[in-house]
Amino acid sequence: MSSEAIERRSIIISIVASTSFGILGIVISIASHSGAVFLDGLFSLTFGIVGLLTLYVSQLVSRPSDDSYPFGYATFEPMLNLFKGLLIGFALVYALWTAIRTILTGGQEIVAEGGILYAVIAVVGGAIVVFFLKRYAKQSGSPIVDVDAKNWTVDTLISSAVGVAFVVTLLIENSDWSDFAPYADPVIMLAIIAIASPQPFQTIRDNLRQLVGKAPPKNVQDRVSELVEEAIADVPHHETHLRIVDVGRYIHLHIYVIVSPDSGQNIDIRRHDQIRRTIYDHVSREYRYLSLDVGFTTDRRWALNSVPSELGDTVVVADDSRE
């Protein structure tokens, strides 16, 4: 099965499961008067609705470049993930305001059994979905499926917290502490917010970085540099300038190889293409979706002045003994 087919299957699984759990959560929340269950169900339903947009974007990013989008459609991927992060972030802010208001107004009477029932169904179902999405994310190399797997992991942890909290609530209702039972639901909501909040903000940060063209994490830059140097180890050169950005699943790699005028190396077009193919084969073994541009020059200024500043370059100085 192709990566695109695996990605599409993953998204459809996520849509069906999210919508089902969302509707179930909202129905049970109405019956049990629980804001915590409603919040969990709202998260799931939101994932299901956004999943329809995800399905469209997953097809869009696989299109070849055209006159309207000369660099392809890759930017739609981080744009979608940024939208998901913002949507969940706003939902958490609303939930925080609702929980605080409920506490200040004397709490909320709930039917704890309803919350426990929902939590059991959501945890079991969520764990199954997480298992398949993580496996499919690894097989397809899709950032979209990877983000969905992370969101489902958080949502399943939230459902687990809801279940434990409602069991505790049930115990409180039948104890000498029953006067505090109405406050259990908003406190559970605050716990959900604390568990869930890191994930959307991390998603917002990572995808905003991609949209503004900031370099990928240092470990990615270092690894790409190592792979490039391995690929051109037999090419006499003085230094290598790399500019790297990641956009969604794609790594865009621009390489300037600085060749010493005294090296005696004659790199014609055919040799250039051979070196480009070697670099592509080396890097694409680990970074499947690769966009590559390679240039050779004896004048270092071309590498430094092709953009306003050299601060974004990863510079690898070659061993002079190879020249």
* Secondary structure of 44-71 in HEC code, one letter for each residue: HHHHHHHHHHHHHHHHHCCCCCCCCCCC
Domain 218-322 has what CATH class?
A: alpha beta
Q: Which pLDDT tens digit goes with each residue over 15-32?
A: 999 899 889 888 888 887
CATH number of 3-211: 1.20.1510.10
Q: Which pLDDT tens digit goes with each residue over 136-192?
A: 888 887 877 888 888 788 778 778 877 877 887 788 877 878 788 788 778 877 887
Helix axes 3-32, 112-140, angle to 10 degrees: 170
Give the pLDDT of residue 133: 92
Closest CA to 82 of 192, 247, 250, 215: 247
Mean pLDDT of the chain: 82
Which residues are within 8 A (CB) of 131 and not within 5 positions of it... i.e. 6 or more apart?
Answer: none
SS3 call for 261? coil
Give the pLDDT of residue 264: 58
Q: What is the CA radius of gyration of the chain?
A: 26
Mean pLDDT score, 80-104: 85
Answer yes or no: is pLDDT of 268 > 70: yes
The pTM score is 0.72
Please give the biggest Cα pair distance in the chain.
90
Q: Report domain extents, the chain.
A: 3-211, 218-322
The single residue listed with the structure tokens 């309207």 is 68
Per DSSP, the residues of 11-49 read: HHHHHHHHHHHHHHHHHHHHHHT-HHHHHHHHHHHHHHH
> What span, in angstroms and rounded, lies between the C-alpha atoms of 21 and 44?
6
Give the pLDDT of residue 321: 45
Answer yes or no: is pLDDT of 311 > 50: no
Whether the Cβ atoms of residue 48 and residue 19 lie closer than 8 Å to each other:
yes
How sure is the predictor about 309, in pLDDT bands with cuts at 50, 70 and 90? Answer: very low
